[in-house]
A and B are shown apart, each in its own frame.
Chain A
Amino acid sequence: MLKEKKKKQQSLHKRHSDLAVANKQLEKLSNGIFANGELPLFSEKIKETDHFPLRPNKLEILQINVGYMCNQVCEHCHVDAGPDRKEIMTRETMEQCLEVIRNTGAHTLDLTGGAPEMNPDFRWFVDEASKAGIKDFIVRSNLTIIRANKKYYDLPEFFKNHNVHVVSSMPHWTRGKTDKQRGEGVFDLSIKALQELNAEGYGMPDSDLRLDLVYNPSGAFLPGDQASMEKEFKHALLEDFGIHFHNLFAITNLPVSRFLDYLIASENYEDYMYSLVEAYNPAAVKNVMCRNTISISWDGYLYDCDFNQMLELKVASKIQHISEYNEDILNDRKIIISQHCYGCTAGAGSSCQGAIAD
Protein backbone atom coordinates (compact mmCIF):
# COMPACT_ATOMS: atom_id res chain seq x y z
CA MET A 1 0.00 0.00 0.00
CA LEU A 2 2.79 2.38 0.98
CA LYS A 3 4.74 1.38 -2.13
CA GLU A 4 1.66 2.06 -4.24
CA LYS A 5 1.29 5.50 -2.65
CA LYS A 6 4.93 6.35 -3.30
CA LYS A 7 4.57 5.25 -6.91
CA LYS A 8 1.67 7.64 -7.33
CA GLN A 9 3.90 10.48 -6.25
CA GLN A 10 6.28 9.85 -9.14
CA SER A 11 5.94 10.58 -12.84
CA LEU A 12 5.82 7.72 -15.35
CA HIS A 13 9.28 8.91 -16.47
CA LYS A 14 10.71 8.50 -13.00
CA ARG A 15 9.10 5.06 -12.73
CA HIS A 16 10.56 4.10 -16.13
CA SER A 17 7.10 3.05 -17.13
CA ASP A 18 6.58 1.76 -20.67
CA LEU A 19 4.07 4.52 -21.28
CA ALA A 20 6.66 7.20 -20.53
CA VAL A 21 7.76 6.51 -24.11
CA ALA A 22 5.61 8.42 -26.60
CA ASN A 23 5.84 5.70 -29.24
CA LYS A 24 4.43 3.13 -26.84
CA GLN A 25 1.42 5.35 -26.28
CA LEU A 26 0.93 5.83 -30.00
CA GLU A 27 1.17 2.08 -30.53
CA LYS A 28 -1.52 1.49 -27.92
CA LEU A 29 -3.74 4.10 -29.59
CA SER A 30 -3.40 2.42 -32.99
CA ASN A 31 -3.57 -1.24 -32.04
CA GLY A 32 -6.31 -3.41 -30.49
CA ILE A 33 -9.82 -2.12 -31.10
CA PHE A 34 -8.55 0.32 -33.73
CA ALA A 35 -6.48 -2.24 -35.63
CA ASN A 36 -9.12 -4.99 -35.71
CA GLY A 37 -11.78 -2.68 -37.12
CA GLU A 38 -14.01 -2.61 -34.02
CA LEU A 39 -13.65 1.17 -33.94
CA PRO A 40 -12.82 3.51 -36.84
CA LEU A 41 -9.51 5.38 -36.94
CA PHE A 42 -9.88 9.12 -36.32
CA SER A 43 -8.70 9.82 -39.87
CA GLU A 44 -11.53 7.63 -41.24
CA LYS A 45 -14.05 9.37 -39.02
CA ILE A 46 -13.17 12.90 -40.12
CA LYS A 47 -13.16 11.80 -43.77
CA GLU A 48 -16.94 11.38 -43.40
CA THR A 49 -17.28 15.17 -43.17
CA ASP A 50 -14.42 16.00 -45.53
CA HIS A 51 -12.10 17.19 -42.79
CA PHE A 52 -9.18 14.99 -43.78
CA PRO A 53 -6.45 16.10 -43.89
CA LEU A 54 -7.14 18.43 -41.01
CA ARG A 55 -5.76 21.89 -41.68
CA PRO A 56 -5.35 25.02 -39.55
CA ASN A 57 -7.62 28.03 -39.69
CA LYS A 58 -6.31 31.42 -38.63
CA LEU A 59 -3.79 31.29 -35.77
CA GLU A 60 -5.33 32.71 -32.61
CA ILE A 61 -3.51 31.15 -29.68
CA LEU A 62 0.16 30.70 -28.88
CA GLN A 63 0.44 28.16 -26.10
CA ILE A 64 3.83 27.95 -24.47
CA ASN A 65 4.77 25.11 -22.16
CA VAL A 66 7.56 26.52 -19.99
CA GLY A 67 8.42 23.19 -18.34
CA TYR A 68 7.11 19.90 -17.04
CA MET A 69 8.08 20.48 -13.41
CA CYS A 70 5.08 20.63 -11.06
CA ASN A 71 4.46 20.54 -7.32
CA GLN A 72 1.61 18.06 -7.90
CA VAL A 73 1.43 14.59 -9.44
CA CYS A 74 -2.17 14.41 -10.68
CA GLU A 75 -3.35 11.00 -11.70
CA HIS A 76 -4.84 12.19 -14.98
CA CYS A 77 -1.97 14.47 -16.10
CA HIS A 78 -1.29 14.20 -19.83
CA VAL A 79 2.03 16.00 -19.36
CA ASP A 80 3.28 13.42 -16.85
CA ALA A 81 4.35 16.45 -14.82
CA GLY A 82 5.73 16.30 -11.30
CA PRO A 83 8.49 17.44 -8.97
CA ASP A 84 10.84 14.92 -10.59
CA ARG A 85 10.55 16.38 -14.11
CA LYS A 86 13.54 18.57 -14.94
CA GLU A 87 12.56 19.82 -18.41
CA ILE A 88 12.49 23.59 -18.02
CA MET A 89 12.48 26.33 -20.66
CA THR A 90 15.68 28.38 -20.62
CA ARG A 91 15.81 32.16 -20.81
CA GLU A 92 17.37 31.84 -24.25
CA THR A 93 14.32 29.95 -25.57
CA MET A 94 12.06 32.44 -23.79
CA GLU A 95 13.80 35.25 -25.65
CA GLN A 96 13.06 33.45 -28.93
CA CYS A 97 9.43 33.11 -27.81
CA LEU A 98 9.26 36.83 -26.98
CA GLU A 99 10.42 37.68 -30.48
CA VAL A 100 7.51 35.62 -31.80
CA ILE A 101 5.02 37.06 -29.28
CA ARG A 102 5.91 40.60 -30.38
CA ASN A 103 5.18 39.79 -34.03
CA THR A 104 2.42 37.21 -33.96
CA GLY A 105 -1.07 37.65 -35.34
CA ALA A 106 -2.44 35.56 -32.44
CA HIS A 107 -4.65 37.36 -29.92
CA THR A 108 -4.06 34.96 -27.02
CA LEU A 109 -0.91 33.93 -25.21
CA ASP A 110 -1.35 30.89 -23.01
CA LEU A 111 1.38 29.83 -20.56
CA THR A 112 1.20 26.31 -19.23
CA GLY A 113 3.36 23.56 -17.71
CA GLY A 114 3.80 21.69 -15.29
CA ALA A 115 3.38 24.54 -12.90
CA PRO A 116 4.63 27.42 -15.05
CA GLU A 117 5.38 29.46 -11.93
CA MET A 118 8.14 26.97 -11.02
CA ASN A 119 10.27 28.03 -13.96
CA PRO A 120 12.97 30.26 -12.40
CA ASP A 121 12.52 32.82 -15.22
CA PHE A 122 8.73 32.79 -15.07
CA ARG A 123 8.29 36.29 -13.62
CA TRP A 124 10.82 37.83 -15.97
CA PHE A 125 9.07 36.17 -18.89
CA VAL A 126 5.59 37.32 -17.84
CA ASP A 127 6.93 40.83 -17.30
CA GLU A 128 8.45 40.95 -20.79
CA ALA A 129 5.57 39.17 -22.53
CA SER A 130 2.97 41.46 -20.97
CA LYS A 131 4.62 44.42 -22.74
CA ALA A 132 3.86 42.88 -26.15
CA GLY A 133 0.24 44.03 -25.95
CA ILE A 134 -1.39 40.64 -26.53
CA LYS A 135 -5.12 40.91 -25.91
CA ASP A 136 -5.59 37.88 -23.67
CA PHE A 137 -2.63 36.71 -21.57
CA ILE A 138 -3.44 33.42 -19.82
CA VAL A 139 -1.44 31.67 -17.13
CA ARG A 140 -2.62 28.16 -16.26
CA SER A 141 -2.11 27.93 -12.54
CA ASN A 142 -2.75 24.78 -10.54
CA LEU A 143 -3.73 26.97 -7.52
CA THR A 144 -1.80 24.97 -4.90
CA ILE A 145 1.46 26.51 -6.11
CA ILE A 146 0.24 29.82 -4.68
CA ARG A 147 0.30 28.23 -1.22
CA ALA A 148 3.20 25.81 -1.78
CA ASN A 149 5.98 28.08 -0.58
CA LYS A 150 6.36 31.61 0.78
CA LYS A 151 8.06 32.74 -2.41
CA TYR A 152 4.79 32.13 -4.28
CA TYR A 153 2.44 33.82 -1.81
CA ASP A 154 2.42 37.09 -3.76
CA LEU A 155 1.47 35.45 -7.08
CA PRO A 156 -2.12 36.78 -7.05
CA GLU A 157 -0.75 40.32 -6.76
CA PHE A 158 1.87 39.62 -9.42
CA PHE A 159 -0.82 38.30 -11.78
CA LYS A 160 -2.92 41.38 -11.11
CA ASN A 161 -0.03 43.76 -11.81
CA HIS A 162 0.45 42.14 -15.21
CA ASN A 163 -3.24 41.86 -16.00
CA VAL A 164 -2.89 38.11 -16.39
CA HIS A 165 -5.97 35.99 -17.05
CA VAL A 166 -5.80 33.12 -14.55
CA VAL A 167 -7.14 29.71 -15.58
CA SER A 168 -7.07 27.14 -12.82
CA SER A 169 -7.87 23.48 -12.43
CA MET A 170 -10.61 22.45 -10.05
CA PRO A 171 -11.96 18.97 -10.70
CA HIS A 172 -14.86 19.21 -8.26
CA TRP A 173 -16.45 21.33 -5.58
CA THR A 174 -16.05 18.52 -3.05
CA ARG A 175 -12.87 17.62 -1.21
CA GLY A 176 -13.08 13.86 -1.84
CA LYS A 177 -13.25 13.98 -5.64
CA THR A 178 -10.60 16.70 -5.90
CA ASP A 179 -8.05 15.05 -3.63
CA LYS A 180 -8.52 11.66 -5.27
CA GLN A 181 -7.49 13.06 -8.62
CA ARG A 182 -4.94 15.67 -7.61
CA GLY A 183 -3.50 14.43 -4.31
CA GLU A 184 -4.24 14.69 -0.61
CA GLY A 185 -4.71 18.21 0.70
CA VAL A 186 -5.06 19.76 -2.78
CA PHE A 187 -8.68 20.78 -2.23
CA ASP A 188 -8.03 22.84 0.91
CA LEU A 189 -5.01 24.57 -0.63
CA SER A 190 -6.95 25.30 -3.81
CA ILE A 191 -9.80 26.85 -1.84
CA LYS A 192 -7.36 29.04 0.06
CA ALA A 193 -5.68 30.11 -3.20
CA LEU A 194 -9.04 30.92 -4.81
CA GLN A 195 -9.99 33.05 -1.81
CA GLU A 196 -6.72 34.95 -2.16
CA LEU A 197 -7.30 35.50 -5.87
CA ASN A 198 -10.78 36.77 -5.04
CA ALA A 199 -9.26 39.13 -2.46
CA GLU A 200 -7.14 40.67 -5.26
CA GLY A 201 -10.30 41.12 -7.30
CA TYR A 202 -9.90 38.02 -9.47
CA GLY A 203 -13.12 36.31 -10.49
CA MET A 204 -15.36 38.85 -8.80
CA PRO A 205 -18.59 39.79 -10.58
CA ASP A 206 -17.93 42.71 -12.95
CA SER A 207 -14.17 42.48 -12.37
CA ASP A 208 -11.87 42.66 -15.40
CA LEU A 209 -9.43 40.35 -13.64
CA ARG A 210 -10.46 37.08 -15.26
CA LEU A 211 -10.50 33.91 -13.21
CA ASP A 212 -11.78 30.81 -14.97
CA LEU A 213 -11.82 27.27 -13.67
CA VAL A 214 -11.13 24.06 -15.54
CA TYR A 215 -13.22 21.03 -14.74
CA ASN A 216 -12.13 17.64 -15.96
CA PRO A 217 -13.73 14.39 -14.85
CA SER A 218 -12.11 12.48 -12.02
CA GLY A 219 -12.31 9.11 -13.73
CA ALA A 220 -13.11 7.18 -16.88
CA PHE A 221 -16.14 9.18 -17.94
CA LEU A 222 -16.83 12.25 -20.07
CA PRO A 223 -17.63 15.72 -18.75
CA GLY A 224 -21.26 16.72 -18.44
CA ASP A 225 -22.84 19.81 -19.94
CA GLN A 226 -20.52 22.78 -19.37
CA ALA A 227 -23.25 25.32 -18.57
CA SER A 228 -24.94 23.04 -16.00
CA MET A 229 -21.61 22.19 -14.38
CA GLU A 230 -20.73 25.87 -14.18
CA LYS A 231 -24.00 26.58 -12.40
CA GLU A 232 -23.34 23.84 -9.86
CA PHE A 233 -19.73 24.87 -9.28
CA LYS A 234 -20.74 28.50 -8.78
CA HIS A 235 -23.50 27.63 -6.37
CA ALA A 236 -21.41 25.21 -4.29
CA LEU A 237 -18.20 27.27 -4.14
CA LEU A 238 -20.10 30.42 -3.19
CA GLU A 239 -22.30 28.70 -0.65
CA ASP A 240 -19.54 26.68 1.02
CA PHE A 241 -16.52 29.00 0.74
CA GLY A 242 -17.69 32.41 -0.50
CA ILE A 243 -15.70 31.93 -3.72
CA HIS A 244 -16.44 33.68 -7.01
CA PHE A 245 -15.12 32.86 -10.48
CA HIS A 246 -16.09 33.76 -14.03
CA ASN A 247 -16.39 30.75 -16.32
CA LEU A 248 -16.00 27.03 -16.06
CA PHE A 249 -14.28 25.15 -18.89
CA ALA A 250 -15.32 21.49 -19.06
CA ILE A 251 -12.43 19.54 -20.53
CA THR A 252 -12.36 15.89 -21.59
CA ASN A 253 -9.44 13.78 -20.39
CA LEU A 254 -7.47 12.59 -23.40
CA PRO A 255 -6.03 9.08 -23.41
CA VAL A 256 -2.43 10.31 -23.20
CA SER A 257 0.33 9.64 -20.68
CA ARG A 258 -0.86 9.20 -17.07
CA PHE A 259 -4.55 9.18 -17.97
CA LEU A 260 -3.86 6.48 -20.56
CA ASP A 261 -1.90 4.58 -17.93
CA TYR A 262 -4.84 4.90 -15.52
CA LEU A 263 -7.32 3.72 -18.18
CA ILE A 264 -5.28 0.62 -18.92
CA ALA A 265 -4.53 -0.21 -15.28
CA SER A 266 -8.19 0.18 -14.26
CA GLU A 267 -9.35 -1.86 -17.29
CA ASN A 268 -11.37 1.08 -18.58
CA TYR A 269 -9.40 1.74 -21.75
CA GLU A 270 -11.68 0.04 -24.28
CA ASP A 271 -14.91 1.31 -22.75
CA TYR A 272 -13.53 4.82 -22.59
CA MET A 273 -12.46 4.75 -26.25
CA TYR A 274 -15.93 3.45 -27.15
CA SER A 275 -17.48 6.35 -25.21
CA LEU A 276 -15.29 8.86 -27.06
CA VAL A 277 -16.04 7.40 -30.48
CA GLU A 278 -19.78 7.06 -29.77
CA ALA A 279 -19.88 10.70 -28.62
CA TYR A 280 -18.02 11.87 -31.76
CA ASN A 281 -19.49 15.19 -32.86
CA PRO A 282 -18.59 16.42 -36.36
CA ALA A 283 -19.53 19.98 -35.30
CA ALA A 284 -16.64 19.94 -32.85
CA VAL A 285 -14.13 19.10 -35.58
CA LYS A 286 -14.65 22.51 -37.14
CA ASN A 287 -13.41 24.20 -33.98
CA VAL A 288 -10.79 21.82 -32.56
CA MET A 289 -8.04 23.85 -30.92
CA CYS A 290 -5.23 22.50 -33.11
CA ARG A 291 -6.79 24.54 -35.92
CA ASN A 292 -6.15 27.87 -34.19
CA THR A 293 -3.26 27.06 -31.85
CA ILE A 294 0.47 26.48 -31.96
CA SER A 295 1.95 24.70 -28.98
CA ILE A 296 5.59 25.41 -28.08
CA SER A 297 7.54 23.05 -25.86
CA TRP A 298 10.13 23.88 -23.18
CA ASP A 299 12.91 23.26 -25.69
CA GLY A 300 11.33 25.43 -28.37
CA TYR A 301 9.83 22.81 -30.68
CA LEU A 302 6.44 23.40 -32.30
CA TYR A 303 3.38 21.17 -32.10
CA ASP A 304 -0.28 21.20 -33.17
CA CYS A 305 -1.37 21.01 -29.52
CA ASP A 306 -0.10 20.23 -26.02
CA PHE A 307 -1.22 16.60 -26.42
CA ASN A 308 0.80 16.13 -29.60
CA GLN A 309 3.69 17.71 -27.73
CA MET A 310 3.52 14.98 -25.10
CA LEU A 311 3.28 12.37 -27.85
CA GLU A 312 6.36 13.96 -29.46
CA LEU A 313 4.51 14.58 -32.74
CA LYS A 314 6.15 17.76 -34.04
CA VAL A 315 4.30 19.89 -36.60
CA ALA A 316 4.41 18.57 -40.16
CA SER A 317 6.21 21.62 -41.51
CA LYS A 318 9.72 22.53 -42.53
CA ILE A 319 9.49 25.00 -39.63
CA GLN A 320 9.68 22.93 -36.46
CA HIS A 321 11.46 25.21 -34.00
CA ILE A 322 10.74 28.61 -32.49
CA SER A 323 14.14 29.85 -33.71
CA GLU A 324 12.94 29.62 -37.31
CA TYR A 325 9.30 30.57 -36.65
CA ASN A 326 7.29 31.73 -39.64
CA GLU A 327 3.54 31.97 -39.19
CA ASP A 328 2.62 31.83 -42.89
CA ILE A 329 4.65 28.74 -43.60
CA LEU A 330 3.45 27.08 -40.38
CA ASN A 331 -0.18 27.75 -41.12
CA ASP A 332 0.17 25.88 -44.39
CA ARG A 333 0.50 22.47 -42.78
CA LYS A 334 -1.44 19.29 -42.21
CA ILE A 335 -2.32 18.67 -38.58
CA ILE A 336 -1.04 15.39 -37.18
CA ILE A 337 -3.78 13.21 -35.76
CA SER A 338 -4.20 9.90 -33.99
CA GLN A 339 -6.93 8.26 -31.95
CA HIS A 340 -6.35 10.52 -28.91
CA CYS A 341 -7.96 13.26 -31.03
CA TYR A 342 -11.37 11.67 -30.35
CA GLY A 343 -11.05 13.31 -26.92
CA CYS A 344 -11.43 16.78 -28.47
CA THR A 345 -14.43 15.86 -30.62
CA ALA A 346 -16.61 14.02 -28.10
CA GLY A 347 -19.96 15.52 -27.13
CA ALA A 348 -19.74 19.30 -26.98
CA GLY A 349 -16.06 18.99 -27.90
CA SER A 350 -13.11 19.92 -25.74
CA SER A 351 -10.24 22.37 -25.83
CA CYS A 352 -8.08 24.29 -23.38
CA GLN A 353 -10.92 26.86 -23.53
CA GLY A 354 -13.58 24.25 -22.76
CA ALA A 355 -16.46 23.13 -25.00
CA ILE A 356 -16.16 24.08 -28.67
CA ALA A 357 -19.20 22.84 -30.61
CA ASP A 358 -21.42 25.70 -31.83
Chain B
Amino acid sequence: MASNNYYDPADLRKFGNITEWSKELGDKFFDYYGKVFEEGALTAREKALIALAVSHTEQCPYCIDAYTKDTLQRGITKEEMMEAIHVGAAIKSGATLVHGVMMMNKVNKLEM
Protein backbone atom coordinates (compact mmCIF):
# COMPACT_ATOMS: atom_id res chain seq x y z
CA MET B 1 0.00 0.00 0.00
CA ALA B 2 1.81 3.08 -1.23
CA SER B 3 -0.97 5.46 -0.33
CA ASN B 4 -2.78 6.45 2.85
CA ASN B 5 -5.87 7.39 0.88
CA TYR B 6 -8.72 5.18 -0.22
CA TYR B 7 -8.61 6.94 -3.59
CA ASP B 8 -5.35 7.74 -5.38
CA PRO B 9 -5.48 9.44 -8.83
CA ALA B 10 -2.49 7.34 -9.95
CA ASP B 11 -4.58 4.18 -9.39
CA LEU B 12 -6.71 5.05 -12.43
CA ARG B 13 -3.74 4.18 -14.64
CA LYS B 14 -3.64 0.76 -12.99
CA PHE B 15 -7.23 -0.10 -13.89
CA GLY B 16 -6.02 -2.53 -16.54
CA ASN B 17 -4.16 -4.50 -13.86
CA ILE B 18 -7.41 -6.07 -12.65
CA THR B 19 -6.90 -8.67 -15.40
CA GLU B 20 -3.81 -9.93 -13.54
CA TRP B 21 -5.85 -11.76 -10.91
CA SER B 22 -8.62 -12.91 -13.21
CA LYS B 23 -7.53 -12.72 -16.79
CA GLU B 24 -10.54 -14.21 -18.52
CA LEU B 25 -13.15 -12.10 -16.72
CA GLY B 26 -10.97 -8.98 -16.88
CA ASP B 27 -10.42 -9.36 -20.62
CA LYS B 28 -14.12 -9.98 -21.19
CA PHE B 29 -14.95 -6.85 -19.22
CA PHE B 30 -12.52 -4.64 -21.16
CA ASP B 31 -13.67 -6.06 -24.50
CA TYR B 32 -17.24 -5.30 -23.53
CA TYR B 33 -16.32 -1.85 -22.20
CA GLY B 34 -14.49 -0.93 -25.39
CA LYS B 35 -17.34 -2.16 -27.56
CA VAL B 36 -19.93 -0.18 -25.60
CA PHE B 37 -18.17 3.10 -26.33
CA GLU B 38 -17.78 2.57 -30.07
CA GLU B 39 -19.94 4.56 -32.49
CA GLY B 40 -23.27 2.80 -32.80
CA ALA B 41 -26.88 3.88 -32.85
CA LEU B 42 -25.56 6.56 -30.48
CA THR B 43 -22.51 8.61 -31.40
CA ALA B 44 -19.34 8.28 -29.33
CA ARG B 45 -19.91 11.90 -28.35
CA GLU B 46 -23.38 11.16 -26.95
CA LYS B 47 -22.01 8.16 -25.09
CA ALA B 48 -19.26 10.29 -23.56
CA LEU B 49 -21.83 12.72 -22.17
CA ILE B 50 -23.95 9.88 -20.77
CA ALA B 51 -20.81 8.41 -19.19
CA LEU B 52 -19.97 11.78 -17.65
CA ALA B 53 -23.45 12.13 -16.15
CA VAL B 54 -23.45 8.56 -14.78
CA SER B 55 -19.92 9.06 -13.38
CA HIS B 56 -21.42 11.78 -11.21
CA THR B 57 -24.53 9.92 -10.12
CA GLU B 58 -22.26 6.98 -9.23
CA GLN B 59 -19.93 9.51 -7.57
CA CYS B 60 -16.93 7.64 -8.89
CA PRO B 61 -13.81 9.87 -8.74
CA TYR B 62 -11.93 7.75 -11.27
CA CYS B 63 -14.82 7.94 -13.74
CA ILE B 64 -15.22 11.70 -13.25
CA ASP B 65 -11.49 12.16 -13.87
CA ALA B 66 -11.55 9.97 -16.98
CA TYR B 67 -14.73 11.27 -18.57
CA THR B 68 -14.06 14.95 -17.88
CA LYS B 69 -10.87 14.51 -19.87
CA ASP B 70 -12.64 12.41 -22.48
CA THR B 71 -15.38 14.98 -23.07
CA LEU B 72 -12.82 17.81 -23.29
CA GLN B 73 -10.89 15.82 -25.87
CA ARG B 74 -14.01 15.58 -27.96
CA GLY B 75 -14.37 19.37 -27.94
CA ILE B 76 -17.49 19.17 -25.78
CA THR B 77 -18.12 22.50 -24.06
CA LYS B 78 -18.36 23.16 -20.32
CA GLU B 79 -21.99 24.13 -20.75
CA GLU B 80 -22.82 20.78 -22.36
CA MET B 81 -20.92 18.94 -19.64
CA MET B 82 -22.75 20.74 -16.85
CA GLU B 83 -26.14 20.17 -18.50
CA ALA B 84 -25.39 16.47 -18.73
CA ILE B 85 -24.63 16.39 -15.00
CA HIS B 86 -27.90 18.16 -14.29
CA VAL B 87 -29.72 15.41 -16.14
CA GLY B 88 -28.08 12.91 -13.78
CA ALA B 89 -28.85 15.10 -10.78
CA ALA B 90 -32.50 15.51 -11.84
CA ILE B 91 -32.95 11.75 -12.10
CA LYS B 92 -31.26 11.28 -8.73
CA SER B 93 -33.44 13.87 -6.97
CA GLY B 94 -36.53 12.73 -8.89
CA ALA B 95 -35.85 9.17 -7.77
CA THR B 96 -35.73 10.39 -4.18
CA LEU B 97 -38.86 12.51 -4.46
CA VAL B 98 -40.97 9.97 -6.34
CA HIS B 99 -40.61 7.75 -3.25
CA GLY B 100 -42.50 10.49 -1.48
CA VAL B 101 -45.62 8.96 -3.02
CA MET B 102 -44.80 5.77 -1.11
CA MET B 103 -44.56 7.80 2.06
CA MET B 104 -47.85 9.55 1.30
CA ASN B 105 -49.58 6.22 0.59
CA LYS B 106 -48.35 4.86 3.91
CA VAL B 107 -49.46 7.97 5.83
CA ASN B 108 -52.88 7.85 4.18
CA LYS B 109 -53.22 4.20 5.09
CA LEU B 110 -52.17 4.64 8.72
CA GLU B 111 -54.00 7.84 9.54
CA MET B 112 -57.68 7.85 10.39
User: Bound complex: CA of A172 vs CA of B13, how far in Å?
Assistant: 29
Contacts of A224 in B (CB 8 A): 73-75
A177 sits at the interface (CB 8 A): yes
A228 sits at the interface (CB 8 A): yes
Contacts of B43 in A (CB 8 A): 228
A152 sits at the interface (CB 8 A): no
Min CB distance A212 to B, Å, is 17
- Neighbour of B72 across the interface among A173, A221, A274, CB < 8 A: A221
User: Bound complex: CA of A284 vs CA of B45, how far in Å?
Assistant: 24
Considering only CB atoms, which chain B residue lies closest to A174 in the complex? B77
Min CB distance B66 to A, Å, is 11
Considering only CB atoms, which chain B residue lies closest to A215 in the complex? B75
B69 sits at the interface (CB 8 A): yes
User: Bound complex: CA of A193 vs CA of B43, how far in Å?
Assistant: 32
B44 sits at the interface (CB 8 A): yes
Contacts of A229 in B (CB 8 A): 74-75
Known: A174-B77, A221-B73, A225-B74. 9 other contacts (CB 8 A): A172-B75, A176-B77, A176-B78, A215-B75, A222-B73, A224-B75, A228-B43, A228-B74, A278-B13
B residues sitting closer than 8 Å to A (CB atoms) are 13, 43-45, 69, 72-75, 77-78
Closest 8 CB pairs of A and B: A224-B74, A224-B73, A221-B72, A221-B73, A221-B69, A229-B75, A222-B73, A232-B75
Pairs across A and B, CB under 8 Å, 11 listed: A176-B78, A221-B69, A221-B72, A222-B73, A223-B73, A224-B73, A224-B75, A228-B43, A228-B44, A229-B74, A278-B13
